[in-house]
Amino acid sequence: MRKVIFDSDTASDDAIALLYALDHFEVLGVTIVAGNVKYENQVKNALYTLEQFAPDVPVYLGARRPIMGRWRTVEEVHGPTGLGSLTDISPKKKPEKEHAVDAILRLANEYPGELEILAVSPLTNLALAYLKDETLPKKISRVWVMGGAFTRGNTTPLGEFNFWVDPEAAKMVLNAGFNITIVPWEVTEETAYVDDDLWEKISSMRTRRSDFFIRANETLRKYSKATGALGSIHPDTLTVMIANDISIATKTAELNVDVETCGDARGAMMVDWYGLTGRKRNANVVLKANRSKFVEELQKLLSRG
């Protein structure tokens, strides 16, 4: 099995993406980074998800804030503690003592050229790991990034949440020389939604996983619908599905991608479609993905056990 680190600001969709990762990869650790909701709730959510579904996977605590930015958490999107109506969880599992940045560097040295990062969160931990060891990009086989928006930011007019929370980190990671695949917001919005019909199907499965999905994503569903979507949107889950099977990405392009760090456009993803900057192509960008495959894989995941 391919070895991965799951780098996450664990809230509703992150938790489902983690479930998917546990089935398809050897998850060597979950590293927590500041993002969706209060840090201690993200930690609890990750510990709880693992305690329920894969108790031996270690959790490492990473950056509690972005490098430069003053971000805001988005409890309105994910629920008061991040897992929808699952607000009363008290996992017994404890995080490791080792810092997430050190865990990333240690595992990269243990599995050079083999380790992959499923980065479904702001890129702070990875940027800090790179600053501590600039040879890191050579040791990581691929970083799968959920982040960035072409034109329709979900947090500001141009900013997608993960890039907007820590644009300096995103910029650093993009320009560090990692092999990167990016799954931008719009692709996930068009592909990875759970409409009423699918929600009902999942709800009637009555498995431990489907019950977890429904409760963890209740707030996300309400929020997404209120913004005009057909149902809850699952960017992190789609990203992990694509990492597992690249054919789910039906159109991709090697492009130069950078991130704006100033003013109203802070967090905007800048894609050099025509090679105007003369800069090296640094990312494989997913432009389209297969919705039927997303639906099929999600149902398979949640109908099990």
Amino acid at 76: E
Provide the token pair at 41: 């709730």
Q: Does 236 bind ligand BDR (CB under 6 A)?
A: yes
Identified binder of ligand BDR from the candidate list 6, 25, 48, 161, rule CB under 6 A = 161
Report the candidate in 211, 198, 193 with the shortest Cα–Cα distance to residue 86: 211
The radius of gyration of the chain from alpha carbons, rounded to an integer in Å, stands at 18
Q: Return the biggest CA–CA distance within the chain.
A: 54
Give min distance, CB of 269 to ligand BDR, in A: 11
DSSP letter at 175 equals: T
Stretch of 43-51, 114-122, 205-213, 278-286 lying at the interface with Ca ion (CB under 5 A):
114-122
d(CA 67, CA 10) in angstroms, rounded, equals 19
Q: What phi and psi values does residue 46 have, to the nearest 5 degrees? A: -70, -45
Q: Cβ contacts of residue 183 below 8 Å, gap of 6+?
A: 144, 145, 146, 147, 235, 238, 239, 242, 249, 286, 289
Identified binder of Ca ion from the candidate list 103, 120, 233, 238, rule CB under 5 A = 120
Stretch of 9-17, 42-50, 128-136, 149-157 lying at the interface with Ca ion (CB under 5 A):
9-17
Q: Which residues pair with 61 in a beta bridge?
A: 32
Provide the token pair at 7: 């780098």
Are 216 and 16 a contacting pair, CB within 8 Å?
A: yes
**Contact code string over 164-203 relative to ligand BDR, x by CB under 6 A:** ---------------------x------------------
180-183 vs 142-146, strand pairing mode: parallel
Are 60 and 103 a contacting pair, CB within 8 Å?
A: yes
Identified binder of Ca ion from the candidate list 7, 14, 189, 297, rule CB under 5 A = 14
Q: Does 169 bind Ca ion (CB under 5 A)?
A: no
Stretch of 82-90, 113-121, 128-136, 279-287 lying at the interface with Ca ion (CB under 5 A):
113-121
Stretch of 94-102, 147-155, 233-241, 274-282 lying at the interface with Ca ion (CB under 5 A):
233-241
Are 192 and 235 a contacting pair, CB within 8 Å?
A: yes
Report the candidate in 298, 159, 152 with the shortest Cα–Cα distance to residue 227: 152
Give min distance, CB of 139 to ligand BDR, in A: 24
Residue closer to ligand BDR (CB basis): 156 or 207:
156
Give min distance, CB of 57 to Ca ion, in A: 17
Identified binder of Ca ion from the candidate list 12, 121, 155, 188, rule CB under 5 A = 121
Q: Does 242 bind ligand BDR (CB under 6 A)?
A: no
d(CA 143, CA 161) in angstroms, rounded, equals 18
Using CB under 6 A, which residues numbered 138 to 157 contact ligand BDR? 146, 154
Q: Does 160 bind Ca ion (CB under 5 A)?
A: no
Using CB under 6 A, which residues numbered 97 to 126 contact ligand BDR? 120-121
Residue closer to Ca ion (CB basis): 120 or 241:
120
Interface contacts to Ca ion, rule CB under 5 A? 9, 14, 120-121, 236
Interface contacts to ligand BDR, rule CB under 6 A? 11, 13-14, 36, 77, 120-121, 146, 154, 160-162, 185, 235-236
